[in-house]
Structure 1
Amino acid sequence: MGLRLRIVGKAVLGICAALLLAACAEDFGPDQHGRKVTADSLDGQWLVINYWAEWCAPCRTEIPELNALEEELQKHSARVIGVNFDGLQGEDLQRAADSFKIRFIVLAQDPAARFELPHNDVLPVTYIVDDKGRMRERLVGEQTAAGVLAHLQRLRGE
């Protein structure tokens, strides 16, 4: 009886472990440098997701603001994430991100479905996603670091 109980106990533990692993979120795919962006590195944080394109003049002036915001957000359990509107991949994405001097993560795979972000045809557009993965706000047009930080603090109740 004791042996059977141990075997059943191990089986139950194995099933529980498998269920926990299955519940883990899918990774975000590669960034502009080809490095894997894990779910663990972003889940549970507030995200500022910015869509940009090379042909978008306001995007060019907004990127330095987002670089500064990324540095500031390190103190606030939040991150800036970029997404290329034109879906550039691999070397093309890296070249474009480098030409803009982007210092935050740029995802090669669009996370819109993951966060249920509405489609937008105007650039730049920035979405604020809370630590539970819910979109909380959409900001259309060029943003400043101070402006986005104010929105983020208001949404977080700070």
Structure 2
Amino acid sequence: MTRPFAASLLLLACLLISACEKDWGVDQHGQEITVAHLQGKWLLINYWAEWCGPCRTEIPELNALAMAEHNLEVLGVNFDELRGEELAEAAEALGIRFRVLSDDPAERLKLSRSEVLPVTYLVDDKGVVRERLIGEQSAAGVLAHLARLRGE
């Protein structure tokens, strides 16, 4: 096998493997969350539950972050693993305006189950978990963490 041919095969294999990365599942509205949509963005992944008081009070702050332009995708995850209509109803009842994942990304991101709520993870644009934030977050606080992590 010639070197150029072998190099071409290797490049093709790499492209196929990267293109086959599994999507993130559906959100609370049944809309697919694709790898392509999240590619190159920083992620804020927030675990919440209906029974968690601080989770409820931080939702307006997370909604504000989701609506702003910071190259940041806000994603929620229900701690109690609600799915389908139950997930949609819980998110609506709490006034969540950001996307909530039906499938927990813990395995994908190598996260251990948190014993406290709320817990928020900041994931960089390469898919690396950079920060774990425990407790209620504010939009200003999250933006300060992002600026520090991004070296701004």
Question: In the alignment, which residue of structure 2 is the partner of 1:124?
Answer: 118
Structure with larger Rg: 1
Deviation at 1:121, TM superposition (A): 1.2
1:34 alignment partner, one of 21, 30, 37: 30
Alpha-carbon distance in structure 1 between the residues aligned to 2:56 and 2:99: 16
Alpha-carbon distance in structure 2 between the residues aligned to 1:43 and 1:54: 30
Alpha-carbon distance in structure 2 between the residues aligned to 1:149 and 1:129: 13
Give a deviation string over 1:45-103, Cα, whole Å, max 9, x none: 1101000000101111010110001122xx22111110000000000000001011111
2:101 alignment partner, one of 100, 107, 121: 107
Alpha-carbon distance in structure 2 between the residues aligned to 1:41 and 1:121: 30
What's the TM-score, normalizing by structure 1?
0.85
Alpha-carbon distance in structure 1 between the residues aligned to 2:14 and 2:73: 29
2:16 alignment partner, one of 12, 15, 21: 21
- Higher mean displacement: 93-102 or 111-120: 111-120
Aligned residues: 144
User: In the alignment, does 2:63 pair up with 1:67?
Assistant: yes
> RMSD between aligned alpha carbons?
1.7
1:52 alignment partner, one of 43, 48, 54: 48
Q: What's the secondary structure of 1:30's corresponding residue?
A: coil
What's the TM-score, normalizing by structure 2?
0.88
Alpha-carbon distance in structure 2 between the residues aligned to 1:84 and 1:71: 20
Alpha-carbon distance in structure 2 between the residues aligned to 1:152 and 1:23: 27
Question: In the alignment, which residue of structure 2 is the partner of 1:149?
Answer: 143
The one-letter code of the counterpart of 2:29 is H
Deviation at 1:136, TM superposition (A): 0.6
Alpha-carbon distance in structure 1 between the residues aligned to 2:106 and 2:39: 15
User: CA 1:157–1:19 in 2, change beyond 3 Å: closer, same or farther?
Assistant: closer
